[in-house]
Amino acid sequence: MKLKVIQLNFGYRGGSATAYVYGPDPGCAFERRPHLAVHISFTLHRAQPEFDRATQDLVVLPAGTLTPFLFVGFLSDPPMFADRALSWPSPGEYRNKLTHAIAKMVAVAVETDDADG
């Protein structure tokens, strides 16, 4: 499974991101590679918030910050440019990997934002 973060927006202790879960390589150069778009919204919290494990994740940021909890909500779009018979991974297969990747990027953004004052 190939997972790629396409866009990350961050500001004022929250933001959003878009990632693609890619399907198999296309059969020819004229076809687009099938993908599943995963949209994420996130907020930073000082205290651990309650969350719904079915559609949300919570992770502790890897850097020491004043707001150590990253609260992530997931929304998946239907697969694009793909035959409907194509088998896609379940959300459980990519959510944890994606949450931790976003947490690393947000931790760097928070450190940079805190350093700027």
- pLDDT tens digit string along 40-64? 999 999 888 888 888 889 998 876 6
pTM: 0.81
Q: Which residue has the higher pLDDT, 115 or 92?
A: 92
pLDDT-based confidence at residue 65 (cuts at 50, 70, 90): low
The CA radius of gyration of the chain, in Å to the nearest whole number, is 16
**Residue whose token pair is 């559609």:** 55
- Sign of torsion, CA 79 80 84 88? negative
CA 16, CA 95: separation in Å to the nearest integer? 15
